[in-house]
């Protein structure tokens, strides 16, 4: 339990408590009733900043290290230290440790920073992350004893609260190597597994020490043992042979995977492929201007209006302003291309772009600012997954790899992107990815896609990995040059691939209402559609 000025949080179950609940009804185990420390709550952050700085002799940490991090303390008249004050956010927030009995409180509000991170520039050779502020001091003491230099060493406040790693993942990954050393207890080792997943196995190395934590290692074996453990830190791989029980649990998970239905305008797809499922990549293809992006926005609105889940949006042909404006306009059943009243549009935006129960945005939009690189986007997609997004909409893969990927171009670049996306849904099996891809040019003399030709699997532009890795492939066709308005605005669907059940073929259609800017189901419209390239199973 961490107590803040405005309430508290239990890091075992994740439950939040109000200030009134803490004061009136919080009953921890085994203490009969929670009582704030007798001295620390009297202080303001300004008063703490005027307290003296001393070393911690019983922890083998010198004043030089404490002064570097700005750690202050309170002592009795006899010189015994009663409280440690650990600064966060340049002293705007303090974590207060009461020594006897051991307890922790926060002053100045909540923070998601890592302890000590403001002391170091991003992008260095090596970053060390430990569990707890005292361990960060101990690791830095080892660095000072070894080379008389301060190296990047920071701490998470607790192994059970790693939100700071998610929020500062980009800063952490700017270092060439990240060395992690959490406590050698159950909580610490469970936190280590989560930290490796959050930061990424490609960056991380793990320190092995003999004692319970870094500070104990310093006290009992000296700074040289910590430096040696840092240099000898090893990679950890998530791969491995699984047991039959793990396979059994995987079967249960797959059998209970929820199917979220497609929106009303795409409802005919539900009959064939039974909606969207976590852990899958679904590809949407059609000719230019046939409605892929509009369909994506319809599905985004569907998820937001029928679930409480978060959504991540990567729209590489639009600015974030365009994305927000189009979604807000469609949410009020108005065509985004019309001149809309700004106040009315912003009101719709505020209703759509709301916070979740934790006060965080339900919609995360990538602001690519015209700088499109695969590694950056993949990092941002992982960040969206870590922030809790259950649905990712990527429009589209062609632009995503147009500038090359790690020196690769063409099909090789697309192969890497598709494999990275597959690894992403394997790491986060409750995440669904919707992906748009462009088509090859129609054969000379043949009917174009924009004239109503239904795409086949072989019409998908680029590498074969796009169609091979995708779980479902949904094609659209629309005759953008038809004489009648009804025909021009009608869209036909076909399922080209469905790995779940192999059910492919024509899948109904929808109609675009220009006045509302929305799609609606149009099961009464009939048209003969030739479908090629059924499921490869």
Closest CA relative to residue 363, chosen from 297, 420, 425: 297
Torsion (CA) 225, 231, 237, 240 in degrees, nearest 10 = -50
pLDDT of the chain along its 537 residues, tens only? 777 777 777 766 667 778 777 777 654 544 334 444 444 456 788 889 889 999 999 899 999 999 999 999 988 888 888 899 999 999 999 999 988 888 888 888 778 899 999 999 998 999 999 999 999 999 999 999 998 999 999 999 988 889 999 999 999 999 999 999 999 999 999 999 999 999 998 899 999 999 999 999 999 999 999 999 999 999 887 766 667 887 887 778 777 777 899 998 888 888 889 899 999 999 999 888 788 888 999 999 999 999 999 999 998 888 888 899 999 999 999 988 888 889 999 999 999 998 887 778 999 998 866 555 556 788 889 999 999 999 999 987 877 765 545 556 677 878 888 899 999 998 898 999 999 988 887 776 678 888 888 888 988 887 788 889 999 999 988 888 888 888 888 889 999 999 988 899 998 888 888 888 888 887 544 443 334 433 322
Give the H/E segment covering residue 23: helix 19-24
Q: Which domains does the chain have, with CATH numbers?
A: 112-240 (3.40.1360.10), 260-521 (3.40.50.300)
Which 8-state DSSP code applies to residue 71?
A: -
pLDDT value at residue 98: 87
Place of tokens 């610490």: 188
Number of C-beta neighbours around residue 121 at 10 A: 8
Contact 282, 471 (CB under 8 A): yes
Enter the tokens of residue 174. 């700017």
Dist. CA 202–CA 196, nearest whole Å = 9
Dist. CA 271–CA 261, nearest whole Å = 10
Contact 473, 467 (CB under 8 A): yes
- Name beta bridge partners: 313: 365, 393
Dist. CA 223–CA 144, nearest whole Å = 9
Which 8-state DSSP code applies to residue 406?
A: T
| Beta strands at 432-437 and 310-315: parallel, antiparallel or unpaired | unpaired
Q: In what order do the strands lie in the sheet with 505-513?
A: 363-365, 310-315, 389-395, 432-437, 281-285, 472-477, 490-498, 505-513, 518-521
pLDDT value at residue 531: 40
Number of C-beta neighbours around residue 12 at 10 A: 9
Which spans in 148-202 are helix H? 163-167, 169-173, 186-199
Contact 18, 64 (CB under 8 A): no
Dist. CA 369–CA 157, nearest whole Å = 34
Enter the tokens of residue 91. 């002293």
Terminal-residue alpha carbon distance, the chain: 52
Dist. CA 15–CA 9, nearest whole Å = 6
pLDDT value at residue 223: 94
Half-sphere exposure of 315 (CA within 13 A, CB side): 22
pLDDT value at residue 515: 86
Dist. CA 388–CA 311, nearest whole Å = 8
Dist. CA 524–CA 526, nearest whole Å = 6
Enter the tokens of residue 411. 């099909």
Dist. CA 529–CA 508, nearest whole Å = 10
CB-based burial of residue 200 (10 Å sphere; 0-12 exposed, 13-18 middle, 19+ buried)?
middle
Phi, psi of 342 (to 5 degrees): -60, -45
Which 8-state DSSP code applies to residue 241?
A: P
Place of tokens 């779980």: 471
Q: Output the CA–CA distances (angstroms, integers) from residue 220 to 63, 188, 227, 486, in the order listed.
A: 20, 20, 14, 81
Place of tokens 């949904």: 474
């Amino acid at each position: 339990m961490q107590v803040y000025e405005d309430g508290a949080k239990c890091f075992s179950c994740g439950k939040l408590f109000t200030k009134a609940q803490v004061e009136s009804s919080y009953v921890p185990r085994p203490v009969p009733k929670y009582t704030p420390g007798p001295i620390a709550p009297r202080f303001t952050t300004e008063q703490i900043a005027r307290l003296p700085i001393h070393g911690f002799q019983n922890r083998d940490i010198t004043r030089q290290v404490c002064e570097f991090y700005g750690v202050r303390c309170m002592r009795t008249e006899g010189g015994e230290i009663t409280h440690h004050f650990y600064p966060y956010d340049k002293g705007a927030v303090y974590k207060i440790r009461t020594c006897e009995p051991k307890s922790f409180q926060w002053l100045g509000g909540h923070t998601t920073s890592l302890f000590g991170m403001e002391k170091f520039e991003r992008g260095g050779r090596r970053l060390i992350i430990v569990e707890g502020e005292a361990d960060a001091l101990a690791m830095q003491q080892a660095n000072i004893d070894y080379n008389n230099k301060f190296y990047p060493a920071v701490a998470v406040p607790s192994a059970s609260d790693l939100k700071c790693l998610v929020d500062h993942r980009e800063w952490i990954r700017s270092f060439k190597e990240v060395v992690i050393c959490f406590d050698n207890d159950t909580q610490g080792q469970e936190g280590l597994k989560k930290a490796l997943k959050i930061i990424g196995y490609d960056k991380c190395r793990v320190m092995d020490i003999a004692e319970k934590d870094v500070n104990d290692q310093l006290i009992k074996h000296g700074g040289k043992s910590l430096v040696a453990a840092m240099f000898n830190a090893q990679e950890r791989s998530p791969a491995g042979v699984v047991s039959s029980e793990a396979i059994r649990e995987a079967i249960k998970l797959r059998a209970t995977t929820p199917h979220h239905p497609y929106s009303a305008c795409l409802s005919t797809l539900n009959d064939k492929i039974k909606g969207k499922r976590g852990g899958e990549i679904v590809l949407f293809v059609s000719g230019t201007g046939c409605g892929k992006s509009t369909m994506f926005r319809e599905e985004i609105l569907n998820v937001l209006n029928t679930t409480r889940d978060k959504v991540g949006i990567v729209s590489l042909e639009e600015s974030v302003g365009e994305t927000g404006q189009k979604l807000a306009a469609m949410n009020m059943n108005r065509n985004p291309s019309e001149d809309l009243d700004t106040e009315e549009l912003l009101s719709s935006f505020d209703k759509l772009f709301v916070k979740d129960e934790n006060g965080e945005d339900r919609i995360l939009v990538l602001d690519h600012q015209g700088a499109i690189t695969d590694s950056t986007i993949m990092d941002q997609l992982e960040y969206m997954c870590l922030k809790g997004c259950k649905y990712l909409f990527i429009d589209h893969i062609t632009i995503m790899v147009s500038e090359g990927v790690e020196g690769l171009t063409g099909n090789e670049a697309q192969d890497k992107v598709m494999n990275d996306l597959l690894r992403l849904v394997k790491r986060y099996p409750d995440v669904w990815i919707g992906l748009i891809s462009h088509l090859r040019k129609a054969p000379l003399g043949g009917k174009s896609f924009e004239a109503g030709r239904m795409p086949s699997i072989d019409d998908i532009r680029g590498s074969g990995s796009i169609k091979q890795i995708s779980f479902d492939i949904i094609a659209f066709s629309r005759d953008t040059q038809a004489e009648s308005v009804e025909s021009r605005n009608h869209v036909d669907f076909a399922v080209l691939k469905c790995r779940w059940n192999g059910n492919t073929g024509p899948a109904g259609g929808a109609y675009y209402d220009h006045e509302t800017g929305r799609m609606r189901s149009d099961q009464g419209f009939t048209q003969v559609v030739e479908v090629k390239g059924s499921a490869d199973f």
